[in-house]
Amino acid sequence: MMDWKKEEDKFVLPTYEKFPFVLERGEGCFVWDDEGNKYLDLYGGHAVCALGHSPKAVCDAISEQSKKLLFYSNLVYHPERARAAQRLADLCGGGQVFFCNSGAEANENAMRVARLVTGRPMILATMGSFHGRTAGAMAATGNPKYMKLSGLGASVAHVPFGDIAAASAMIDEQTAGVLLEPIQSMAGIVEPPEGYLEALEKLCRERGALLIFDEVQTGLGRVGARSAAELFGVKPHLQTFAKALGSGVPAGAVLASPEIAAKVKQGDLGSTFGGGPLACAAVSATLGEISGRKLWENAAKMEALVRETFKLPRIKAIRGKGLLLGIVLDGPSKAVRKALLEKRILVGGADDPNVIRLLPPLTVTESEILTLRNALAEIFAGEAVAA
């Protein structure tokens, strides 16, 4: 039997710390390795698998499109692009869409639009944020570990997340836009203080800067609403999406409000593969399922279940909304995550070492959530006996 871990390590740069198994297939909230072991996946490929693994509607759409036309560039009209854009706009409050290939690319293009529309050079971002690994997105990322790698940064400034006074002091006639995650995910599921996002929108509109919501993880039903903008009652000028957008087919998007879309001209943005027929077929099918099944309602329901039932001794807080949740422990989460892996349950870590991140499919069931709850109870009880 081929040792695929060894083969991958031989030919792929070692840029990621990986789970110690080789995955072969997935269905719903479960994945199977090459030895036939079954895992409950509550990480969802990092919030990508919103419909579960290999959802039939998306697989069928990809299959049908692949038989017709794999690719042609944006020089032609295509029904799947039109359908995907309409569904994203309908889901997230209207406007027009620019398709690209990833969240980082979406954020880069949103910052570009802000600079083009306002004629200003500066982007204001927040500490603790994560916006991607391309140079410009890393410059906006408010984590020193990544910022130093970007090679850029002169045109980006950072203020503490949640500090409206600090933002007010920085937004001036040079500020093109303010880019932030409405809920910071990699930082450990950090929620905004009450009224912060609304005040930030007001500041931006008063001073001529564009408000940009990075909804790469908060969007598409994950936070118990269609988007974080809807959840918090805020109307950003620009929203960026990726992760779950294509159910695993690489896709990103910038949604511009009507007032901003009217100011974008031919030639301002471009992407060879963005908005290709195959990707848009996946996007259209994904958004059709999320909207048709109102999966944000299940996300809200499962959040309530977690908050009601995860009252365990080592859990100090539960942060986040919907199915973008952070379980805050009384100490480092690494050993607990390892113990969960031994029980064949996949969860995520965060920059906050005490946090377990849950980013499961929006289709996750009550029994699957309770499987995690019971596993944690067993792990904590075992720790107490060991102590």
pTM for this predicted structure? 0.94
Ordered by where they begin, the domains of the chain are 4-54+294-386 (3.90.1150.10), 56-292 (3.40.640.10)
> Under a CB-based contact definition with an 8 Å cutoff, are residues 236 and 221 in contact?
no
How far the first Cα of the chain sits from its last, in Å, is: 42
Contact partners, residue 23, CB within 8 Å, separation at least 6: 31, 32, 33, 34
- Residues 382 and 387: their CA atoms lie apart, in Å, by 9
**Residue 72, phi then psi, degrees to nearest 5:** -150, 155
Per-residue confidence band for 151, with pLDDT thresholds at 50, 70 and 90: very low
> Under a CB-based contact definition with an 8 Å cutoff, are residues 381 and 216 in contact?
no
Per-residue confidence band for 71, with pLDDT thresholds at 50, 70 and 90: very high
The 345-346 sheet, strands edge to edge: 23-27, 30-33, 38-41, 345-346
pLDDT at residue 298 is higher than 80: yes
- Residues 42 and 365: their CA atoms lie apart, in Å, by 11
Q: Quick: pLDDT tens for 191-206.
A: 999 999 999 999 999 9
- Residues 313 and 143: their CA atoms lie apart, in Å, by 31
Mean pLDDT of the chain: 94
Q: Quick: pLDDT tens for 77-130.
A: 999 999 999 999 999 999 999 999 999 999 999 999 999 999 999 999 999 999
Using CA of residue 20, residue 361, residue 283, residue 181, what is the dihedral sign?
negative
Per-residue confidence band for 147, with pLDDT thresholds at 50, 70 and 90: low
Q: Between helices 295-309 and 277-292, what is the axis angle to 10°?
A: 60
Q: Is 24 helix (H, G, I), strand (E, B) or coil?
A: strand
Q: Quick: pLDDT tens for 246-297.
A: 999 999 999 999 999 999 999 999 999 999 999 999 999 999 999 999 999 9
